[in-house]
Amino acid sequence: MSHLLHLDASARRNSISRDLSRRFAETWRAAHPDGRYTYRDLAADPVPHIGEAWTELCDHVLAHGITDIGRYREAVSTPAQREAWAVLAPLLEELVAADVVLIGTPMYNYSVPSALKAWLDQVTFPKMSLAGRRFVVTGARGGAYGPGTPREPVDHEEHYLRDFFKGHFGVEDVVFVHAELTNALIDPGLSHLRDGQAESRAVAELRVLEEAKR
């Protein structure tokens, strides 16, 4: 049975990244009526940042060469570590159970929101593998950061996530769908870019529907 884990990270309740991820999720669920669906709002219900006890769990896993995610629980031995594990365990269980991970996230300050980074830190351990899963990122960016644009070199959102998912999790199937130029909707100085913004969003909306049916 297919399982979709859906995460949203935007601080805005009515954001474009949330709209795109919602469209994907609704289409995916219609195409997989028997599939499982898990939703987590990382902005409304923030994941705590990792603390020292988490680092101790990580060190134990690394020192003992534990690569089986199901054995991570063996690292827990102190009260502080048990508290850290109580936060981590459900997040890790959701991630491991999913075969498709959908992340709706804006670009903040050239990178990912801290809410998403906190989740990534919690669920990531040395030498863990999530190979065979599919990651889909639906995003919104205030400017234009696509290939060939002047700001492409400072896109530390897609580059970071792509490198992370492939390099750390071993995930080859990673898809990014971005709606760009969203600041044109707000900034009068960018009003001349509104047609471009509308086109970018329309293309993104069509693409998320296509990707959700895969």
Indicate whether 63 belongs to any domain. Answer: no
Q: What is the percentage of the chain residues whose pLDDT exceeds 70?
A: 100
- Write down the mean pLDDT value for the chain: 95
Indicate whether 103 belongs to any domain. Answer: yes
Residue 132 has a CB neighbour count (10 Å cut-off) of 10
Indicate whether 56 belongs to any domain. Answer: no
| 69 is annotated as contributing to ligand binding | no
pLDDT grade for 210, boundaries at 50, 70 and 90 = very high
Whether 178 and 105 have beta carbons less than 8 Å apart is answered as: no
Indicate whether 136 belongs to any domain. Answer: yes
Residue 104 has a CB neighbour count (10 Å cut-off) of 30
Concatenated DSSP letters for 128-146?
---TT-EEEEEEE-SS--S
105-109, 118-122, 125-129, 145-149: which has the minimum mean pLDDT? 145-149
Any idea how long the chain is?
Answer: 214
pLDDT for position 179: 96
Half-sphere exposure of 10 (CA within 13 A, CB side): 22
Structural domain including 133 reads 3-47+98-212
103-107, 188-192, 203-207: which has the minimum mean pLDDT? 188-192
pLDDT grade for 1, boundaries at 50, 70 and 90 = confident
pLDDT for position 148: 86
- Count of domains for the chain: 1
pLDDT grade for 184, boundaries at 50, 70 and 90 = confident
pLDDT for position 110: 93
pLDDT grade for 15, boundaries at 50, 70 and 90 = very high
Indicate whether 67 belongs to any domain. Answer: no
Indicate whether 61 belongs to any domain. Answer: no
Whether 201 and 16 have beta carbons less than 8 Å apart is answered as: yes
CATH number at residue 29: 3.40.50.360
Indicate whether 82 belongs to any domain. Answer: no
Q: How far apart are CA 8 and CA 168, in angstroms?
A: 21
| 16 is annotated as contributing to ligand binding | yes
Instruction: Convert the pLDDT of each residue in 197-207 to its tens digit.
Output: 999 999 999 99
pLDDT for position 176: 97
pLDDT for position 52: 98
Indicate whether 92 belongs to any domain. Answer: no
CA angle at residue 100 from 112 to 61, to 5 degrees?
70
